């Protein structure tokens, strides 16, 4: 009985029957109509859901026979796993959409019901002509729904849509007929079985007609202006159903007919690629929300059209479900949610979306949808893309991987720009026109994305629950957002300490040290957040996610876990930067460079997977000599993330413009993530043949970064920008140290990394204190603060000494180790550059102390007070760390050295030198004693010089000037030596991208007749590209 | 022979419809173009199923079971044609309805007047 009620055929009975009954119920009363409508949709959802459930438990697909005859003599339909999955997802979305439709006239409900039923017909039918009929049912229902809006533009757009889809379905009808003429078959299974008999010019033309219709219905570039216009002008819930539902039906039809197009698989993928890349390119230039979503929708269909035929060609049946299913539901839930949100907001222009800014719930949902549509974790699109890239790599299809990633980057660019606008624009008076109830279906989509993301993650192979710990902590904090901010911070502290502790307990070696460093550093620096007590909406949840992701990264054992956590860090830090709304453009830059970096890592892991067949990170160590590409890709990605010279353009903005406490975390802690990645990645290089040359290249890049960073820092008047460039410079040292690929080099790298974390943490907190007290960021406006902020001054002085490499603090040890390691390896050039960079470093560091704390005090600064205790505590803790490292270096170096030893055991180039001998390089007592004496003498000389007045004669040619001419001369030199080539390069690239988008979109003239012509051209091009010209000759013979 | 003539006529009609749809600016004429295309397709369908000297596919005194495969006209295309005609009529009706609404808002039927959304 229950089985009978839940038989898939009932979907059509309910759909059509409901359609007929709704007008009758309308006579009974309005509420009756709505109730019948909802019951019908719920019934369809239940039936398809039950089918999915049964099929997942291993039941055989249900065959639905009609007309009392067996196929091919009668139409049959099938409810298999894929069918039930598509049908259920579409039904579920349609059921949520009821919220917008049930208040309409009964005609609307009727059309909506028919539309949903038609889509399922397209999914389930196994008869070609029946497919045409369902396509027409869907189309006609769509035409009706599109008429809901009376605006002129909407009517014109609908007419364009009408003409185009009628043309496309005529193609389908002709294709079906020609196929019937050649084979006498309409049954799809039969046709696939007898694929070999479809030959000759007619058979070929038949296939191309069918293919043309399906592709055109998916709105391919450039024959898709009509689709865009409808997306732009339709009522948002109707546009949502076209984008999610109708496209799903058409795409499934294509999927089902793919075996027929075996000779055209690559052509289909190429057309998909064209659509994916160009839609997302033009999307960059959009200012209208729904049109932007239209470009994105079309792009997503392009992505599916790339994935399905390629995976089919590779016979990757296992990957097919995750990739196609994942991309499909990701697009369905996210895009439908975004369209509904567009309806809720009711603003056409992107910048007017700022009305969302003061609604935390809506903003969170918007964020989830944007992250999901960009294919980022933890949503299904991420797992699907991961699987897609891995599978394509196994098939050696690297060009396709590049296409997928470039398109994804473009899409992320405009999606996140939009998100930034929603937070950033000046507050507007007029709010959202719709009630809160309209938000619930959108929340539903976000929730579905979360759930399906978790399931897809399991399918992709992320079984570890710990990977979700950061997100879980974020969720807890989000629930508690009403508590006072200090209480929230304490909860963050507790959660991160407990969770982070659990994460690191099971680690050992370098992973343990790094996890410890990142966790402790993050926790200490986060204390500074207490300095602000204002409401920071979303800040604490994000902080929790980020602080917990940091120690989770070293925990990763597979490349999937690594990328997942990596993206969590990227996303959480991006949203943290975005907390300061003025930083929106810098945050976007940061995100895009980080995503590009992550894509390089993804490619590296894909190559590794193709070479070794493993996704385990330990595969890096057993990689063979041909793994040089892996190392190159990893190095490029990690150098981008580290802000190496040339790709450093994102760094100053992100570090300088974010909130002061976030800057400290970014520069001190998050920057170490790429260092950890480099250490992991270098294992590969040791084994591969070209490693030594590549390592030298990386070493030079590191040193150039150091030197350029130092010079740029010296030119800066902005306090935080100076520190940002200083960060870049210091990271260069670490990169160079890793590139040495010797035991000593690695010890140095870790030592320098720890030192930089401590030092830069202090300095950014010093900057935070100064900005908090004076409200000024420009160095020239400050001065003489040592008297009013003595503790801050002391902390800054200690940090500067420790960073500069002056004895007796840790920086000196770091430099000493670095120089020793370089000399040992014979890297005289880089060693020389280290000295040069150290000298340039002295200049900006001296200026930092001199201009801010010493010199004449500005009158306005007299009333200033010392920094708040919440900023001083972390500084004190960090200073304690510096002292510990400086005077008891063995405490750190011994575990470091031990951590490295086992991993190098088999491959180490390092010969014959015992640990004691390393300490010989850096045994603090005698070296330090000497250094202290030497510097005392130098200081004495300097003091004498100054006393005698010679110094000011040298340094201050202009008497009375605040800046010494020596400094001026040097900055001139630095300016000449650091031409803004990188900025020009990236600016030029951006300019070229947007202007090409601007030029390409002129294609879309808005004239429906022109669009018809495009469709005809598209068909002819498809025919020719598939090799149809050959058949024309044959016909002449 | 008959079917060849019918087939050619049908295909010609499709092409004429396509030509008209692409060259005429008036929306009503465009719709006529679409109708012609539709009609042409329907004629092609019928032509495909025709068997020379065949008879109606009803098995009775005029058509024995053994002859059914060789002499009877293929019934499937006729069934398809009927369905296609019904769908075509519905689509034409929708198009005309939109033509009326478009005319009401601009007082013109020129397709060039309806290019609001672009790029």
Q: What is the 3-state secondary structure (H, E, C) of A767-796?
A: HHHHHHHHCCCEHHHCCCCCCCCHHHHHHH
Cβ contact A674:A634 at 8 Å: no
Would you call B98 and A139 a contact, using CB atoms and an 8 Å cutoff?
Answer: no
Structure tokens at A265: 């698989």
Place of tokens 């040791």: A686
Q: If we measure between CA atoms, which residue out of A420, A360, A963, A363 comes closest to residue A657?
A: A420
In 3D space, the residue among B78, B71, B65, B9 whose CA is nearest the CA of residue B40 turns out to be B9
Would the CB atoms of A177 and B114 count as touching at under 8 Å? no
Residue A417 CB contacts under 8 Å (≥ 6 apart), including other chains: A588
Q: Do A163 and B114 touch (CB under 8 A)?
A: no
Q: What residue of B is the nearest CA neighbor of A1008?
A: B111
Across A537-541, A836-840, A1015-1019, the highest mean pLDDT is recorded for: A1015-1019
Domain that holds residue B63: 2-113
* Interchain CB distance below 8 Å, A152 and B116: yes
Structural domain count of chain B: 1
In this prediction, residues A227-236 reach a mean pLDDT of 95
Q: Which residues of A touch B34 (CB under 8 A)?
A: 163, 166
Say yes or no for a CB contact (<8 Å) between A163 and B34.
Answer: yes
Chain A contact present for B76, CB below 8 A: yes
Cβ atoms A251, A138 nearer than 8 A: no
**A180 in contact with B at a CB cutoff of 8 Å?**
yes
pLDDT for A687:
60
Tell me the chain B residues in contact with residue A186 when contact means C-beta distances shorter than 8 Å: 76
The verdict on A166 touching B (C-beta cutoff 8 Å) is yes
Interface probe for B, chosen from A75, A133, A159 (most Cβ of B below 10 Å), is A159
What is d(CA A449, CA A763) in angstroms, rounded to the nearest whole number? 41
- Minimum distance, in Å, between the CA of residue B108 and any CA atom of chain A: 12
Residue A223 confidence (pLDDT) above 80: yes
Q: How far is A156 from chain B (nearest CA, A)?
A: 5
Residues of A in contact with B102 (CB under 8 A): 155-156, 159
pLDDT value, residue A919: 47
Residue of A nearest to B109 (CA): A156
Instruction: Give the closest of A129, A181, A1007 to B48, CB-based.
Output: A181
Phi and psi (nearest 5°) for A149?
Answer: -100, 135
Closest CA to A575 of A499, A471, A674, A493: A471
With tokens 């660019």, the residue in question is: A413
Pick from A140, A186, A1016: CB nearest B91: A140
Residue A794 CB neighbour total at 10 angstroms: 15
Q: Does residue A958 have a pLDDT over 50?
A: no
In the prediction, which pLDDT does A928 show?
Answer: 59
Q: What is the largest CA-CA distance in chain A?
A: 113
Q: Determine contact: A147 vs chain B, CB below 8 A.
A: yes
- Please give the Cα distance from B56 to B68 (Å, whole number): 10
Answer whether A181 touches B (CB < 8 Å). yes
Residue A875: per-residue pLDDT? 95
Quote the mean pLDDT of chain A: 88
Mean pLDDT of A804-826: 82
**Residue B53 maps to a domain:** yes
Q: How do residues A347-386 score in pLDDT, each as one tens digit?
A: 899 988 888 887 888 899 999 999 999 999 999 999 999 9
At A824 the pLDDT is 79
pLDDT at A403 over 90: yes
Q: Residue A463: CB partners within 8 Å, gap ≥ 6?
A: none
Residues B111, A1007: C-beta atoms closer than 8 Å:
yes
Within an 8 Å CB–CB cutoff, is residue A174 touching chain B? yes
The answer to whether A671 and A764 are in contact (CB under 8 A) is: no
Stretch (H or E) spanning A107: helix A106-124
Concatenating the DSSP letter of every residue in B8-71 gives HHHHHHHHHHHHHHHH--BHHHHHHHHHHHHHHHHHHHHHHH--TT-B-S--SSSS-TTTHHHH
Point out which residues pair with A65 in neighbouring strands.
A76
Instruction: Provide the 3-class DSSP secondary structure of residue A76.
Output: strand
CB-based contact A173 B76, cutoff 8 Å: no
Answer yes or no: are the C-beta atoms of A735 and A678 closer than 8 Å.
yes
Give the CATH number for residue B69: 1.10.287.3510
For the cut 90, the answer to whether the pLDDT of residue A174 exceeds it is: yes
Lowest mean pLDDT segment, chosen from A387-396, A531-540, A664-673 = A531-540
Q: Compare all CA atoms of chain B with the CA of A282 and give the residue at the minimum distance.
A: B119
Which 3 state secondary structure label does DSSP give A69? Answer: coil
Give A922-942 pLDDT, tens digit per residue.
455 565 566 667 767 777 776
Angle, helix A671-687 to helix A743-774, in steps of 10 degrees: 170
Interface residue B102 vs chain A (CB under 8 A)? yes
Alpha-carbon span B99 to B93, nearest angstrom? 10
Residue A178: phi and psi, rounded to 5, are: -65, -35
Please say whether the beta carbons of A424 and A581 come within 8 A.
Answer: yes
Residue B87 counted as domain residue: yes
Is the peptide bond between A808 and the residue preceding it cis, with omega within 30 degrees of 0?
A: yes
Q: Inform me whether the C-beta atom of residue B25 falls under 8 Å from chain A C-beta atoms.
A: yes
Residue A191 tokens read as: 């046709």
For chains A and B, CB pairs below 8 A equal: 115
Contact A155 B102 (CB under 8 A): yes
User: How far, in Å, CA of A180 to CA of A928, rounded?
Assistant: 91
Q: Which of A72, A173, A290 to mutate to test the interface with B (most CBs of B within 10 A)?
A: A173
Q: How far is A152 from chain B (nearest CA, A)?
A: 7
Q: Spell out the SS3 assignment of A393-417.
A: HHCCCHHHHHHHHHHHHHHHHHHHH
Cβ contacts of A833 within 8 Å, gap of 6 or more = A703, A704, A706, A707
- Report the alpha-carbon distance of residue B117 to residue A1005 in Å, rounded: 8
Model pLDDT for residues A118-148, shown as the tens digit of each residue: 999 999 999 999 999 999 999 999 999 999 8
CB A142 within 8 A of CB A112: no
DSSP SS3 for A66? coil
Tell me what the mean pLDDT of segment A521-537 comes to: 90
Is A625's pLDDT higher than 80?
no
Q: Given phi > 0 = left and psi -120 to 50 = alpha, else beta, which region is A396? A: left
Mutate to test the interface with B, among A133, A135, A170, A994 (most CBs of B within 10 A): A170
| Chain A residues whose beta carbon lies within 8 Å of the beta carbon of residue B94 | 140, 143-144, 162
Integer Cα distance of B67 and A158 in angstroms: 51
Measure CA A904 to chain center. 34
Q: For residue range B15-72, what is the model confidence (pLDDT) as tens digits?
A: 999 999 999 999 999 999 999 999 999 999 998 888 777 788 888 877 788 777 778 8
Which residue, among A175, A81, A182, A76, has the nearest Cα to A132 in the 3D structure? Answer: A175
Distance separating alpha carbons of residues B16 and A332, to the nearest angstrom:
40
- Whether B11 has its CB under 8 Å from any CB of chain A: the answer is no
- Mutation target for B interface from A147, A152, A1017: give the one with most B CBs within 10 A: A152
| Distance set, CA A790 to CA A96, A527, A745, A853, A867 (Å) | 61, 20, 37, 9, 9
Domain for residue B118, yes or no? no
Share of chain A above pLDDT 70, in %: 91
CA–CA separation, A435 and A438 (whole Å)? 6
DSSP-assigned states of every residue in A707-750: HHHHHHHHH--BHHHHHHHHHHHHHHHHHHHHHT-SHHHHHHHH
What phi, psi does A315 have (nearest 5°)?
A: 55, 35
Contacts B112 to A, Cβ<8 Å: 1007, 1009
Interface check for B21 against chain A (CB to CB < 8 A): the answer is yes
CA distance A788 to A864: 6
Q: Regarding predicted confidence, which is higher, A57 or A746? A: A57
pLDDT at A905 over 60: no
pLDDT at position A374: 95
pLDDT, one tens digit per residue, over A452-501 is 999 999 999 887 889 999 999 999 999 998 899 999 999 999 999 999 99
Residues of B in contact with A1001 (CB under 8 A): 119
| Cα-based torsion angle of the residue sequence A74, A79, A83, A84 in order, rounded to the nearest 10 degrees | 150
Q: Angle, nearest 10°, between helix axes A743-774 and A889-904?
A: 130
**pTM beyond cutoff 0.90:** yes
CB of A107 within 8 Å of a chain B CB? The answer is no
How large is the average pLDDT for residues A952-960? 51
Residue A902 in this model has a pLDDT that exceeds 60? no
Residue A441's CB is within 10 A of a number of other CB atoms, namely 23
Residues 6+ apart with CB under 8 A from A440: A99
Q: Give the per-residue pLDDT at B34.
A: 96
| pLDDT of the residue at B55 | 80
Cross-strand bridge partners of residue A78? A63
Measured between CA atoms, the residue of chain B closest to residue A161 is B95
Spell out the residues 6+ positions from residue A908 whose beta carbon is closer than 8 angstroms to its own.
A743
pLDDT confidence band for A1036 (50 / 70 / 90): very low
| Highest mean pLDDT pick, A117-131, A976-990, B74-88 | A117-131
Q: Which residues on chain B are in Cβ contact (under 8 Å) with A1002?
A: 119
pLDDT at A896 over 80: no
8 Å CB contact of A1007 and B112: yes
Closest CA to A594 of A647, A554, A556: A647
Interchain pair A1007, B38: CB under 8 A: no
What are the extents of the domains in chain A?
1-126, 467-948, 958-1004
Q: Determine the distance in angstroms separating the CA of B20 from the nearest CA of chain A, rounded to an integer.
A: 11
Per-position DSSP letters for A306-347, written without gaps between them: HHHHHHHHTT-HHHHIIIIIHHHHHHHHHHHHHHHHHHHH--
Query: Does the distance separating the beta carbons of B77 and A180 come in below 8 Å?
Result: yes
CB proximity list for A156: less than 8 A, separation 6 or greater? A229, A233, A1008, B102, B114, B115, B116, B117
Listed range (A201-210, A552-561, A673-682, A1004-1013) with the worst mean pLDDT: A673-682
């Amino acid at each position: 009985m229950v089985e009978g009620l839940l038989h898939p055929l009932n979907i059509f009975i309910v759909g059509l029957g409901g359609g007929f009954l709704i007008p009758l119920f309308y006579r009974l009363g309005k509420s009756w109509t709505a109730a019948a409508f909802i019951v019908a949709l719920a019934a369809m959802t239940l039936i398809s859901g039950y089918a999915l459930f049964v099929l997942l438990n291993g039941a055989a697909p249900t065959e639905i026979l009609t007309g009392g005859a067996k196929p091919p003599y009668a139409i049959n339909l099938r409810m298999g796993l894929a069918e039930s999955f598509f049908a259920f997802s579409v039904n579920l979305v349609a059921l949520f959409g009821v919220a917008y439709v049930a208040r309409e006239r009964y005609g609307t409900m009727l059309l909506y019901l028919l539309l949903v039923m038609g889509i399922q017909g397209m999914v389930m039918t196994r008869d070609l002509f029946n497919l045409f009929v369902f396509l027409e049912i869907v189309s006609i229902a769509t035409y009706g729904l599109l008429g809901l809006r009376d605006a002129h533009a909407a009517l014109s757009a609908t007419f364009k849509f009408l003409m185009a889809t009628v043309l496309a379905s005529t193609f389908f009808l002709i294709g079906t007929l020609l196929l019937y003429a050649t084979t006498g078959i309409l049954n799809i299974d039969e046709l696939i079985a007898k694929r070999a008999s479809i030959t000759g010019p007619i058979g070929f033309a038949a296939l191309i007609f069918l293919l043309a219709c399906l592709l055109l219905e998916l709105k391919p570039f450039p024959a898709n202006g009509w689709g865009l216009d409808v997306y732009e002008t339709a009522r948002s819930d109707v546009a949502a159903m076209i984008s999610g539902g109708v496209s799903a039906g058409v795409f499934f039809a294509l999927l089902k007919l793919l075996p027929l197009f075996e000779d055209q698989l690559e052509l289909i993928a190429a057309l998909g690629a064209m659509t994916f890349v160009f839609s997302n390119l033009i999307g960059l230039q959009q200012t209208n929300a729904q049109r932007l979503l239209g470009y994105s929708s079309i792009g997503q269909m392009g992505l599916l059209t790339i994935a399905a035929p390629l995976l089919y060609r590779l016979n990757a049946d296992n990957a097919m479900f995750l990739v196609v299913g994942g991309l499909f539901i990701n697009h369905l839930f996210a895009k439908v949610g975004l369209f509904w949100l567009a309806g809720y907001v009711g603003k056409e222009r992107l910048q007017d979306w700022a009305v969302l800014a003061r609604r935390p719930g809506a903003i969170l949902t918007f964020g989830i949808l944007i992250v999901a549509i960009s294919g980022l974790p933890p949503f299904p699109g991420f797992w699907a893309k991961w699987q897609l890239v891995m599978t394509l790599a196994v098939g050696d299809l690297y060009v396709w991987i590049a296409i997928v990633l470039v398109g994804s980057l473009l899409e992320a660019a405009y999606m996140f720009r939009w998100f930034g606008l929603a937070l950033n624009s000046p507050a507007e008076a007029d709010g959202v026109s719709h009630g809160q109830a309209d938000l619930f279906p959108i929340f539903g989509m976000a929730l579905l994305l979360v759930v399906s993301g978790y399931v897809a993650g399991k399918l992709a192979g992320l079984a570890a629950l710990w990977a979700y710990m950061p997100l879980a902590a974020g969720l807890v904090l989000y629930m508690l957002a009403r508590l006072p901010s200090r209480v929230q911070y304490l909860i963050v502290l507790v959660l991160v300490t407990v969770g982070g502790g659990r994460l690191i307990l099971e680690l050992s070696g370098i992973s343990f040290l790094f996890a410890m460093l990142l966790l402790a550093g993050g926790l200490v620096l986060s204390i500074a957040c207490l300095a602000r007590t204002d409401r920071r909406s979303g800040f604490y949840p994000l902080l929790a996610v980020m602080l917990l992701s940091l120690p989770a990264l070293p925990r990763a054992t597979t490349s999937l876990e690594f990328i997942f956590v990596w993206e969590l860090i990227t996303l959480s830090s991006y949203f943290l930067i975005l907390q300061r709304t003025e930083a929106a453009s810098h945050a976007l830059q940061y995100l895009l460079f980080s995503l590009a970096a992550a894509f390089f890592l993804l490619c590296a892991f894909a190559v590794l997977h193709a070479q070794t067949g493993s996704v385990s990170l330990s595969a890096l160590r057993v990689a063979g000599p041909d793994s040089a590409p892996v190392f190159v890709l990893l190095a490029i990605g990690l150098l981008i993330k580290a802000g190496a010279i040339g790709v450093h353009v994102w760094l100053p903005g992100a570090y300088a413009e974010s909130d002061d406490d976030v800057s400290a975390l970014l520069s001190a802690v998050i920057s170490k993530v790429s260092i950890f990645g480099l250490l992991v990645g270098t294992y590969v290089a040791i084994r591969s043949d070209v490693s030594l040359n590549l390592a030298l290249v990386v070493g030079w890049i590191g040193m150039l970064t150091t030197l350029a960073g130092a010079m740029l820092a010296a030119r800066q008047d902005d306090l935080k920008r100076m520190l940002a460039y200083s960060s870049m410079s210091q990271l260069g040292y670490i990169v160079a140290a890793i590139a040495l690929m010797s035991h000593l080099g690695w010890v140095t790298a870790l030592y320098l990394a720890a030192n930089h974390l401590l030092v830069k943490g202090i300095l950014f907190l010093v900057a935070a204190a100064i900005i908090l007290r004076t409200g000024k960021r420009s160095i020239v406006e400050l001065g003489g603060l040592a008297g009013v902020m003595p503790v801050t001054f002391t902390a800054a002085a200690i940090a500067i000494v420790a960073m500069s490499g002056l004895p007796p603090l840790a920086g000196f040890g770091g430099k000493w180790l670095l120089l020793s390691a370089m000399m040992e390896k014979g890297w005289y050039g880089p060693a020389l550059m280290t000295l040069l960079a150290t000298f340039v470093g002295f200049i900006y560091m001296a200026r930092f102390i001199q201009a801010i704390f010493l010199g004449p005090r500005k009158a306005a600064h007299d009333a200033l007070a010392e920094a708040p205790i919440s900023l001083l505590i972390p500084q004190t803790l960090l200073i304690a760390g510096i002292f510990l490292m400086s005077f008891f270096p063995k405490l750190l170096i011994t575990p470091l050295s031990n951590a490295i030893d086992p991993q190098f055991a088999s491959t180490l180039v390092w010969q014959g030198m015992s640990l004691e001998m390393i300490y010989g390089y850096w045994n603090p007592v005698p070296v330090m004693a000497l250094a202290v004496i030497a510097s005392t003498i130098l200081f004495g000389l300097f003091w004498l010089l100054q006393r005698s007045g010679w110094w000011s004669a040298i340094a201050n040619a202009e008497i009375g000037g605040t800046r010494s001419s020596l400094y001026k001369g040097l900055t001139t030199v630095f300016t000449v030596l650091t031409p803004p080539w990188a900025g020009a390069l990236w600016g030029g690239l951006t300019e070229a991208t947007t202007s090409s988008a601007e030029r390409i979109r002129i294609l879309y003239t808005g004239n429906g007749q022109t669009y018809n012509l495009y469709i005809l051209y598209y068909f002819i091009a498809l025919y020719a590209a598939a090799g149809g010209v050959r058949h024309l000759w044959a016909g002449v013979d | 022979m008959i079917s060849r003539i019918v087939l050619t006529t049908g295909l010609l009609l499709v092409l004429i419809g396509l030509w008209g749809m692409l060259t005429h600016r008036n929306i009503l004429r465009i719709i006529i173009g679409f109708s012609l295309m539709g009609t042409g397709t329907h004629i092609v369908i019928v032509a495909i199923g025709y068997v020379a000297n065949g008879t109606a596919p009803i098995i009775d005194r005029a058509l024995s079971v053994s002859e059914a495969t060789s002499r009877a006209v293929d019934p499937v295309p006729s069934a398809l044609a009927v369905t296609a005609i019904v769908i075509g009529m519905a689509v034409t009706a929708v198009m005309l309805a939109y033509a009326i609404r478009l005319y009401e808002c601009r007082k013109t039927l020129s397709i060039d007047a309806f290019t609001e959304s672009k790029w």
